[in-house]
């Protein structure tokens, strides 16, 4: 099966084959998930709390290992990827969390520059790229501020800039608008749409039906750890 | 490479600036532990010097029943000089012995007024080659065959006891040093661990944006090494200050009685060793703290 998977004729950006994840014997966090997400797609992951949306995102970014099944990213099997290769995989990913996860002791500029520093990019290149990215999210005038000096919406825009600064192949967003008011939510969605238009595959976990209705894209629905729906509205 | 080193050093310094209390605690702990060790090393080194100087003065003294005539004396001296263990033979006449005793009594020399040189025996002072000092007993046994020699006096047993004391001092120093270094190591490791707990969000963010384990660890390793280096330098500064103010003057005067003219500070190689040990403590402490932590974050 592994050879079949790795030599697929038209591999999607992300493919899941019979993926399951169990933390305890009683209940599986994810069970038997089969899924293909194409390059450049924008996908919502939806479902009630505890449906397994965050677990699925964690499996894709290798923060957790699946208990069974295989996951492929850009044709490469990442299921048993060695620990030392995981950082290099993550450099192709941008991740946005509901609680931003910004470094409060670092300025906006330093937060956004961080993924590029990690990749060992040159300072001059970092400066240019970070400024461009902050311009895109409309925060270039706030680059010397610290996260706690910003509003929630501004902090999430910084988080989006940080996720996009490395031109990732895939952007994973876990309830990115969960704590934001409607105006800021629209703003963040516009940022995602723009990134998607530039070719980034986007997987966004949300249970905001209004948002899905407003920005219709493919919707994958999970319930009790199982895939119960996959449709384009 | 230089750019990378500069970046990691910058991050290590920033980490220290952000947690000044923890950093100072680590530096202080390394400093105190190494300063105590430095004092022990100063004590051992100086006692060692003292033993060496005493050992150099040690001689077998063969007291003569009667002062010999010139020919006999020359024969004895030639015979003894022929022993392979012997470096030097000196004849001390009754008059010289009297003169030495007078000098040693100093202000009380008048006690000898009225007593002639004949109250003291003439003697032969026999010094051995330093490397053959262990063979004192053999030489004494050979000398005792000459009936003209009365009492044979030598301080080997005393020297052996002193050397045993020196060994004890070194052992205590090593044990205490080991204990202090371990304590410093644990404290530095825990300090770094506390810093890591305080920056858990930063570590998590680093792993999520693709930082390798080495990229995460290096600034913390540098931070530990820097704290250890500063701690080591502090230990050196404190021990040198105490040496200048107390040891060299006050204790030095006291020890004049034992024959030590000055107390010496640690030689440069030992000073470098103190700083190197401090750096190593910091480095190993950070490694211990990071071992589990970064694995957990990955």
Average pLDDT value for residue range A150-178: 92
Q: What is the pTM of this model?
A: 0.68
Name the token pair of A137.
């999210």
Closest Cα in chain B, distance from residue A41 (Å): 22
User: Is B214's Cβ below 8 Å from some Cβ in A?
Assistant: no
Residue A167's contacts (CB-CB under 8 Å, 6 or more residues apart) are: A198, A200
What DSSP character marks residue A8?
A: -
Average pLDDT value for residue range B174-202: 82
The residue of chain A nearest to residue B3, with distances taken between CA atoms, is A122
Residues of chain B found within 8 Å of residue A103, distances taken between Cβ atoms = 201-202, 205
Contact A33, A90 (CB under 8 A): no
What DSSP character marks residue B246?
A: I
What's the burial of A20, exposed, middle or buried (CB within 10 Å: 0-12/13-18/19+)?
middle
Average pLDDT value for residue range B236-258: 78
- Phi first, then psi: give them for residue A222, nearest 5 degrees: -115, 145
Would you call A119 and B210 a contact, using CB atoms and an 8 Å cutoff? yes
What DSSP character marks residue B149?
A: E
Question: For A29-59, what is each residue's pLDDT tens digit?
Answer: 999 999 999 999 999 999 998 899 999 999 9
Average pLDDT across chain B, whole number: 82
Q: What is the model's pLDDT at position A5? A: 39
Tell me the CA distances in angstroms from A78 to A59, A70, A82, A164, B44, one per residue in order.
Answer: 9, 8, 9, 22, 60
**Whole-number Å distance between alpha carbons of B116 and B81:** 31
A113-122, A161-170, B79-88, B104-113: which has the minimum mean pLDDT?
B104-113
What's the burial of B254, exposed, middle or buried (CB within 10 Å: 0-12/13-18/19+)?
exposed
**Whole-number Å distance between alpha carbons of B143 and B150:** 10
Band the pLDDT of A193: cuts 50, 70, 90.
very high
Question: For B58-70, what is each residue's pLDDT tens digit?
Answer: 788 888 878 888 8
Average pLDDT across chain A, whole number: 89
Average pLDDT value for residue range A200-220: 93
Q: What is the model's pLDDT at position B33? A: 86
Would you call A120 and B201 a contact, using CB atoms and an 8 Å cutoff? no
Nearest residue, CB atoms, A87 vs list B7, B201, B212:
B212
Would you call A120 and B4 a contact, using CB atoms and an 8 Å cutoff? yes
The residue of chain A nearest to residue B7, with distances taken between CA atoms, is A117
Q: Return the SS3 of A226.
A: strand
Percentage of the residues of chain B whose pLDDT score is greater than 90:
12
Would you call B208 and A95 a contact, using CB atoms and an 8 Å cutoff? yes
Question: In sequence order, what are the beta bridge partners of A95?
Answer: A172
User: Is B206's Cβ below 8 Å from some Cβ in A?
Assistant: yes
What DSSP character marks residue B210?
A: T
Q: Assess whether pLDDT exceeds 90 at residue A158.
A: yes
Nearest residue, CB atoms, B201 vs list A63, A88, A103:
A103
What's the burial of B1, exposed, middle or buried (CB within 10 Å: 0-12/13-18/19+)?
exposed
**Whole-number Å distance between alpha carbons of B49 and B96:** 29
Query: Whose structure tokens read 């040159």?
Result: A122
Contact A170, A200 (CB under 8 A): yes
Look at the domain B59-154 and name its fold: Alpha-Beta Plaits (3.30.70)
Would you call A101 and B207 a contact, using CB atoms and an 8 Å cutoff? no
Residues of chain A found within 8 Å of residue B204, distances taken between Cβ atoms = 101
Average pLDDT value for residue range A168-173: 94
Q: Which candidate, B224, B179, B184, B174, places its Cα nearest to that of B32?
A: B184
Residues of chain A found within 8 Å of residue B207, distances taken between Cβ atoms = 87, 90
Would you call A114 and B204 a contact, using CB atoms and an 8 Å cutoff? no
Average pLDDT value for residue range A181-192: 89
Chain pair A-B, CB pairs under 8 angstroms: 52
Q: Which of A97, A118, A125, A161 to mutate to test the interface with B (most CBs of B within 10 A)?
A: A118
Q: Assess whether pLDDT exceeds 90 at residue A144.
A: yes
DSSP per-residue letters across A182-221: HHHHHHHHHHHHHHHHTT-EEEEE---HHHHHHS--EEEE
Q: What is the model's pLDDT at position A1? A: 37
Q: What is the model's pLDDT at position B1? A: 65
Per residue, what are the HEC states of A49-71? CCCCHHHHHHHHCCCCCCCEEEE
B41-55, B135-149, B254-268: which has the minimum mean pLDDT?
B254-268
What's the burial of B55, exposed, middle or buried (CB within 10 Å: 0-12/13-18/19+)?
middle
- Phi first, then psi: give them for residue A46, nearest 5 degrees: -130, 170
Strands A68-73 and B149-153: unpaired
Query: Whose structure tokens read 């051992």?
Result: B44
Q: Which of residues 173-202 of B touch A (CB under 8 A)?
A: 201-202
**Whole-number Å distance between alpha carbons of A143 and A127:** 11
Q: What stretch(es) of chain B map to CATH 3.30.70.3040?
A: 59-154
Contact B229, B282 (CB under 8 A): yes
Strands B86-92 and B123-128: antiparallel
Q: What is the model's pLDDT at position A47? A: 92
- Phi first, then psi: give them for residue A67, nearest 5 degrees: -75, -30
Structure-model confidence comparison of residues A16 and A123, the more confident one:
A16
**Whole-number Å distance between alpha carbons of B86 and B130:** 9
Q: Which of B14, B209, B216 to mutate to test the interface with A (most CBs of A within 10 A)?
A: B209
Q: What is the model's pLDDT at position B296? A: 46
**ipTM of this complex prediction, to 2 decimal places:** 0.80
Length of chain A counted residue by residue: 233
Band the pLDDT of B293: cuts 50, 70, 90.
low
- Edge-to-edge strands, sheet with A201-205: A93-96, A170-174, A201-205, A42-46, A218-223, A226-231
């Amino acid at each position: 099966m592994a050879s079949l998977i790795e030599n697929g004729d038209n591999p999607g950006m992300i493919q899941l084959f019979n993926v399951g994840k169990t933390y305890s014997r009683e209940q599986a966090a994810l069970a038997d998930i089969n899924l293909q997400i194409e390059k450049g797609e924008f996908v919502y992951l939806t479902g009630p709390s505890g449906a397994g949306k965050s677990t699925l995102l964690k499996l894709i970014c290798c923060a957790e290992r699946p208990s069974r099944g295989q996951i492929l990213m850009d044709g490469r099997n990442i299921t048993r990827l060695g620990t030392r290769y995981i950082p290099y995989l993550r450099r192709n990913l941008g991740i946005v969390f509901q609680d931003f996860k910004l470094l409060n002791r670092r300025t906006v500029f330093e937060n956004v520059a961080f993924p590029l520093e990690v990749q060992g990019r040159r300072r001059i290149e970092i400066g240019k790229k970070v400024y461009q990215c902050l311009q895109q999210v409309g925060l270039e005038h706030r680059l010397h501020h610290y996260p706690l000096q910003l509003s929630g919406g501004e902090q999430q825009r910084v988080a989006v800039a940080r996720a996009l600064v490395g031109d990732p192949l895939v952007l994973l967003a876990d309830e990115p608008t969960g704590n934001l008011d409607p105006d800021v939510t629209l703003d963040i969605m516009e940022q995602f749409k723009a990134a998607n238009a530039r070719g980034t595959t986007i997987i966004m976990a949300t249970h905001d039906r209004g948002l899905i209705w407003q920005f219709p894209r493919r919707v994958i629905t999970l319930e009790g750890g199982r895939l119960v729906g996959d449709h384009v509205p | 490479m230089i750019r990378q080193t500069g970046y990691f050093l910058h991050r290590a310094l920033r980490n220290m600036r952000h947690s000044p209390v923890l950093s100072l605690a680590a530096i202080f702990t390394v400093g105190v532990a190494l300063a105590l060790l430095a004092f022990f090393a100063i004590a051992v080194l100086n006692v060692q010097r003292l033993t060496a100087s005493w050992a150099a003065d040690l001689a077998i003294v063969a007291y003569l029943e009667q002062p010999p005539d010139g020919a006999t004396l020359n024969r004895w001296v030639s015979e003894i000089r022929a022993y392979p263990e012997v470096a030097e033979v000196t004849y001390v006449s009754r008059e010289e012995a009297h003169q030495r005793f007078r000098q040693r009594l100093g202000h009380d020399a008048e006690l000898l007024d009225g007593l002639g040189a004949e109250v003291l025996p003439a003697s032969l002072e026999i010094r051995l080659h330093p490397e053959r000092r262990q063979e004192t007993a053999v030489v004494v046994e050979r000398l005792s065959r000459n009936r003209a020699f009365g009492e044979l006096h030598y301080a080997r047993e005393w020297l052996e006891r002193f050397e045993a004391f020196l060994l004890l001092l070194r052992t205590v120093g090593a044990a205490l040093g080991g204990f202090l270094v371990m304590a410093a190591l644990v404290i530095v490791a825990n300090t770094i661990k506390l810093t890591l707990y305080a920056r858990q969000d930063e570590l998590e963010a680093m792993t999520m944006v693709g930082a390798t384990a080495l990229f995460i660890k290096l600034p913390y390793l540098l931070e530990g090494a820097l704290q250890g280096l500063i701690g080591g330098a502090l230990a050196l500064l404190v021990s040198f200050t105490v040496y200048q103010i107390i040891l060299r003057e006050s204790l030095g005067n006291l020890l004049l009685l034992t024959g030590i003219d000055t107390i010496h500070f640690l030689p440069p190689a030992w000073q470098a060793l103190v700083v190197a040990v401090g750096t190593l403590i910091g480095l190993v402490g950070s490694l211990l703290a990071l071992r589990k932590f970064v694995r957990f974050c990955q």
